[in-house]
Amino acid sequence: PLVIFWFRRDLRIADNTALYHALKSGVQVLPLFIFDSDILDKLHNPADARVTFIYQEIEKLKTQLEEKHHSSLLIKHGKPNDVWANLLKSYNIKSVYCNHDYEPEAIERDEAVKQLLHKNFVSFLSFKDQCIFEKEEILKDDGEPYVVFTPYKRKWLAKLKPFYYKAYPTKKYEQHFYKTKALNLPSLKQIGFEKSTLDFPNQHYQSVLRDYAQKRDYPALDATSHISLHLRFGTLSIRELVSTAVQEKSEVWLGELIWRDFYFSILYHYPHSAKDAFRKEYDHIKWRNNEKEFEAWCAGKTGYPMVDAGMRQLNETGFMHNRVRMVVASFLSKHLLIDWRWGERYFAEKLLDYELSSNVGGWQWAAGSGVDAAPYFRIFNPEEQLKKFDKNLEYVRRWIAEYDDPFKYPKPIVDHKEARERCLRVYKEALASK
Ligand code: FAD
């Protein structure tokens, strides 16, 4: 008999909770990765950069398992339930180990796989790995989940002990990897994709921590860590990051990692917020949803330089600076009165670090409909944001080649003052009708 460890969004061997427990069980462990067609079939771009990233990481893991552990990586492509039905026929599986995933569709997938395994007398064991505190670990004194960040953060910090961020030393039990000859790796083409040409950020985040609090809001400085892609796919461990933040006393940066836990928790407790407004009355807003304006926003041609620079950075690199994400999101939902879901979907297609919980959280925050959101009457002024955070127009000129050419760079698509008044009117009407 053997144990299967199922890699999902935790693509690393070191400090991986479920892999550690699988190896520790003493039974031989064969690692598995499934290219999940339920997820892949929804992607429109055959050269989707995230698939290339995952593919490269899978290749690395496979090589590592073969060269260091005389094991390999079992790689399958299909619907998870079908893959598991086949695996049950081919292997004598004792149990399956994996790490928790908190997204509504992932929870459904895991429940279905668990039932199938149980029917075949195979146990399914799942562990906390992608966050520090999950599910019911941080609740208000009355037992309800927090929906405001600051008290959530206070409780999170009060509860944090080294126990919660110590590494899981998989190395200690590495002799328990299942010994096998190298297994097959399908090509990217065989799973229906092409190689992307985008660059991926590296994992060196330590150098930005010292000045993070002073510099993080200035997009031209690019002084944030760029670890979001690695956190999304688990090529870095959250415990390692929190441990570094604590050692370096990087409180502000630690605060950002806590936002990530907070949004996981919100999605877990309020799965409706992935699709609907967290505050239901905001679903009464009469969005204008003008398609031409939406296209201008997507292409970075609104005539508002900070918005346009951000959208072009996103289109070209798959990344956008956090300050600018707030500005473009607020502009789309409040200035253009386009449903935040349109913007959320566009980000989901383009962001390398796309994370359902943080993306929905960020969008609903900007639109005013989310937990702890900016109040609806506080409307970012994109020109003021520019003066404050890119006053030398460095970021703007980096992304908008024609910025200084009045014949080429478009005039503002809406007048700020008019858009602001329209937004206040429409939001007020919606909130009065609740
Ligand atoms: P750093 O500033 O170095 O922060 C370190 C880490 O903390 C990040 O990698 C991230 O994991 C976490 N973090 C930072 N800010 C936030 C935040 N506001 N909410 C939650 N976690 C945070 N982040 C995503 O990872 N995926 C998304 O799809 C995503 N969509 C967003 C959409 C909008 C409209 C907004 C306003 C924000 C969104 N964010 C998202 C949050 C944030 O913009 C990114 O995490 C950050 O820009 C990533 O860059 P970094 O790794 O250099 O961050």
Q: Is 315 a catalytic residue?
A: no
Separation between Cα atoms, residue 201 and residue 353, nearest integer Å: 11
Side by side, which strands form the sheet with 93-99? 74-78, 29-36, 2-7, 93-99, 123-127
Nearest CA to ligand 1 atom 43: 322
Separation between Cα atoms, residue 166 and residue 161, nearest integer Å: 9
CA of 259 to the centre of ligand 1 (A): 8
Q: Is 342 a catalytic residue?
A: no
φ, ψ at 306 (rounded to 5°): -70, -40
- Identify whether the C-beta of residue 138 lies closer than 8 Å to the C-beta of residue 155: yes
Residues 55 and 143 both lie in one domain: no
Closest by CA to 184, choosing from 19, 58, 57, 10, is: 58
Residues 154 and 232 both lie in one domain: yes
**From 6, 340, 342, 365, active-site residue:** 340
Residues 309 and 329 both lie in one domain: yes
Calculate the CA 194 to chain-centre distance: 22
156 marked among binding-site residues = no
Residues 137 and 123 both lie in one domain: no
Q: How many alpha carbons fall within 13 Å on the CB side of residue 130? A: 29
263 marked among binding-site residues = yes
Atom of ligand 1 nearest to the CA of 216: 2
Atom of ligand 1 nearest to the CA of 257: 7
If one counts the domains in the chain, the total is 3
Residues 282 and 362 both lie in one domain: yes
Residues 324 and 240 both lie in one domain: no
260 lines ligand 1 (CB under 6 A): yes
Residues 213 and 309 both lie in one domain: no
Residues 152 and 115 both lie in one domain: no
Beta bridge partners of residue 48, listed in sequence order: none
Q: What is the CATH number of the domain that holds 242?
A: 1.25.40.80
Q: Is 256 a catalytic residue?
A: yes
Residue 197: inside a domain: no
132 marked among binding-site residues = no
Q: CB under 8 Å, gap of 24 or more: what pairs does 87-93 form?
A: 87/4, 87/32, 88/116, 88/117, 88/120, 88/122, 91/2, 91/4, 91/30, 92/1, 92/2, 93/1, 93/2, 93/3, 93/4, 93/117, 93/120, 93/122
What DSSP element (H or E) covers 253?
A: helix 251-269
Token digits of residue 365:
């925050």
pLDDT at 374: 73
pTM score: 0.97
Beta bridge partners of residue 98, listed in sequence order: 126
Q: Is 92 a catalytic residue?
A: no
Q: Is 322 a catalytic residue?
A: yes
pLDDT along the chain (434 residues), means of 10: 98 98 98 97 96 98 98 98 98 98 97 98 98 98 97 98 98 98 97 97 92 97 96 98 97 98 98 95 96 98 98 98 98 98 98 98 95 84 98 98 97 98 96 81
261 marked among binding-site residues = yes
Nearest CA to ligand 1 atom 33: 362
pLDDT at 145: 98
CA of 154 to the centre of ligand 1 (A): 20
173 lines ligand 1 (CB under 6 A): no
Separation between Cα atoms, residue 38 and residue 300, nearest integer Å: 31
pLDDT at 434: 64
Calculate the CA 392 to chain-centre distance: 31
User: What is the complex's ipTM, to 2 decimals?
Assistant: 0.99
What is the torsional sign of CA 15, 21, 24, 29? negative
Closest by CA to 96, choosing from 126, 130, 127, is: 126
Question: Which one of 256, 344, 354 would you pick to mutate in the ligand 1 pocket, going by the greatest count of ligand atoms within 8 A of its CB?
Answer: 256
pLDDT at 433: 80
Q: What is the CATH number of the domain that holds 322?
A: 1.10.579.10
Residues 279 and 425 both lie in one domain: yes
228 marked among binding-site residues = yes
- 3 state DSSP class of 99: strand
Residues 419 and 385 both lie in one domain: yes
Residues 48 and 156 both lie in one domain: no
pLDDT at 92: 98
Domain housing 215: 130-165+207-269
**Per-residue CA distances from 341 to 68, 348, 390 (Å):** 45, 10, 28
Residues 278 and 384 both lie in one domain: yes
List, in sequence order, the alpha helices (H) in 36-143: 37-40, 49-69, 80-90, 104-119
Q: Residue type for 142, please?
A: D
